[in-house]
Structure 1
Amino acid sequence: MIVVCEFIAPSGLERLQRSGLEVLYDPGLWRDRAALKAHLGRATALIVRNQTRVDAELLEAAPCLRVVGRLGVGLDNIERPALEARGVALCFARGINAGAVAEYVLAAMLHLARNLAGAAAHVAEGGWDRTAFGGFELAGKTLGLLGLGEVGLRVARRARAFGMRVVAADPARLPWESVVQDMEIELCTTVGVIEQAQFLSLHVPLTQETRHLIRAETLARMPRGSYLINTARGELVHAADLAEALRTGHLAGAVLDVVDPEPLPPDHVLRGVPNLYITPHVAGLTAEAQEVVGLRVAEGVLRELGVEA
């Protein structure tokens, strides 16, 4: 049996169902860990997104499990050593939604620069103040990127097309020199990026080293009036420190597609913070990206189970 305990696009679900194997699809099952464990008793495959913690405890309830499929890129909810110890394969969608996330980052910068929603709401309320909503141009501004993997490079390419200067650092030293040179990306240290960025966009994985990478000390190094965008992992940002930087006006604004925890609790410190825009982890959820992610992971899982894709 294949258990899918979080949302999968129709293309992926249909491919699983055509395999002839039993498929249990319950996109809310991740919320009830006891029920999930009960179903895993006879499952040979488990497909998750980012909400299900796949660890040794969960694997103990799945004696027949042969493969885990991750509908996305980040693997911080997957305990890979536990999978390896059990000989369970892992399939995930590396790079598939990178274009969608890159476009989200550009949309976030344009929103912060031009405030179309605020201008439209002003007119809807009867106003016509042309001086209040002029905004500013992205051309000539400095975009700082922390992380130059699939997403970071695509953001850089799009930002350069807007005439932005791009400075970047990558803890994993991923960039290929020729690509970086061709795109006119300026490589420097993490501190150097933070100190220069008028827009700072995060594209690093969550590790012990990157947890709370953006905290009071790093926020203080950012230029006054700059902006933060996070589409990577919520734990990269110290929420209370970000809230303080926005309330004091040191940061002019921030867009977060990821928070810690998710969903955002009603009493979270980021609720009601001025000039902060939070979206529900949707940067990579375009229709196009999800169709491809679902199909690719479904096919990978079926191959591991010995079913012709």
Structure 2
Amino acid sequence: MKILVSDPLADEGLEILKAEHDVDVNTGLSEDELVSIIPGYDALVIRSGTKVTEKIINAADRLKIVGRAGVGVDNIDVPAATRKGIIVANTPEGNTISAAEHTIAMMLALSRNVAQANASLKAGKWERKLFTGSEVRGKVLGTIGLGRVGIGVVKRAQGLEMKIIAYDPFIPKQRAKELGIELVDLETVLKKSDYITVHTPLTDETRGMVSDSQFEMMKPGVRIINCARGGVIDEDALVRAVNKNQIAGAALDVFVNEPPTGSQLLDLDRVIVTPHLGASTAEAQVAVAVDVADQVLS
């Protein structure tokens, strides 16, 4: 099998692929460059950087599988791949812990003004009173989406003695009960939560699901975190909500455009941003690399 790896992949995954197959590592390719070389490959291994468009898929005469080292497959034209009989595989478990921990870190950073206080002190100021924070113990965490990462966040938040409510139309009530989660509708999550965290894929149904009308439902002082997919939260609406003091703050690890060059979100002191670090731990990088190698070769 001839395999193209078009995004950086941990050595542990590459070693598995190279043990018995011909592997080329060629990163940073444009769409046209991929179109020109993809006819020579049986498998394509990517992360989030490569966009596997219909144009690329149509040129892939030998391609049998696209392996995504990570969870989301919104950078792959899945319908086009399906029409051509190409398998699309992802690695939903490899970065679960990493993404869940990053979500909790972002929530705590919001509640204690960590980023703002750090910037202030490094600027030579000593502003203890300005950065009075809020404890999370006893607060309501509203989770939108209860997949692997969402559940991972819930378990860690329960350890912080938070009350959990969640919206997920696909999880059985009995499963939610076993996890100690009160399953409610989306409106209830928006109205009752002190913190809201988003854990849904980006689809036509979830794109912009948190927008102006949803922000208007939220209680004063709410803080919102998105470590899932850019676009689930309407970024323009978020800017308006922060500027109108409808919410206390936001923490974002994902954006509609990455990097979010020129985004107004970068100018807001009450918005904490990180450059899509949810899966960026050494452990997660190895796990997804090994998982995607196993998927491609299975």
Matched, 1:256 2:252: yes
Aligned equivalents of 1:78, 1:127: Cα separation in 2 = 47
The corresponding residue for 2:9 is: 8
- For normalisation by structure 1, the TM-score amounts to 0.90
Structure 2 letter corresponding to 1:8: L
Asked whether the 8 Å contact 2:173–2:183 carries over to 1, the reply is no
The verdict on how the C-alpha distance between 1:151 and 1:4 changes in structure 2, with shifts beyond 3 A counting, is same
The corresponding residue for 1:28 is: 28
How far off is 1:128 after superposition?
Answer: 4.2
Structure 1: runs of 5 or more not aligned: 304-309
1:122-145 Cα offsets, whole Å, 9 max, x none, are: 444554444333412110111000
The verdict on how the C-alpha distance between 1:117 and 1:208 changes in structure 2, with shifts beyond 3 A counting, is closer
How far off is 1:176 after superposition?
Answer: 5.7
The verdict on how the C-alpha distance between 1:18 and 1:274 changes in structure 2, with shifts beyond 3 A counting, is same
The corresponding residue for 1:285 is: 280
1:211-268 Cα offsets, whole Å, 9 max, x none, are: 1001100011111111111111111111111101111211111011110111212x22
Partner SS for 2:32? helix
Aligned equivalents of 1:222, 1:75: Cα separation in 2 = 30
Asked whether the 8 Å contact 1:3–1:39 carries over to 2, the reply is no
Aligned equivalents of 2:269, 2:289: Cα separation in 1 = 37
Aligned equivalents of 2:53, 2:116: Cα separation in 1 = 44
Partner SS for 2:264? coil
Asked whether the 8 Å contact 1:149–1:175 carries over to 2, the reply is no
- 1:228-243 aligned within 5 A: 228-243=224-239
The corresponding residue for 1:191 is: 187
- For normalisation by structure 2, the TM-score amounts to 0.93
Q: Aligned residues: percent identity? A: 36
Partner SS for 2:40? coil
Aligned equivalents of 1:292, 1:124: Cα separation in 2 = 36
Aligned equivalents of 2:257, 2:235: Cα separation in 1 = 10
Aligned equivalents of 1:126, 1:243: Cα separation in 2 = 28
Structure 2: runs of 5 or more not aligned: none
- 1:189-228 aligned within 5 A: 189-228=185-224
How far off is 1:41 after superposition?
Answer: 1.9
Superposition CA RMSD, Å: 1.7
The corresponding residue for 2:71 is: 73
Partner SS for 2:52? coil
Aligned equivalents of 1:54, 1:276: Cα separation in 2 = 31
The corresponding residue for 1:307 is: none
The verdict on how the C-alpha distance between 1:270 and 1:94 changes in structure 2, with shifts beyond 3 A counting, is same
How many pairs were matched up? 297
How far off is 1:271 after superposition?
Answer: 3.0
Matched, 1:174 2:152: no
Partner SS for 1:47? strand
The verdict on how the C-alpha distance between 1:104 and 1:42 changes in structure 2, with shifts beyond 3 A counting, is same
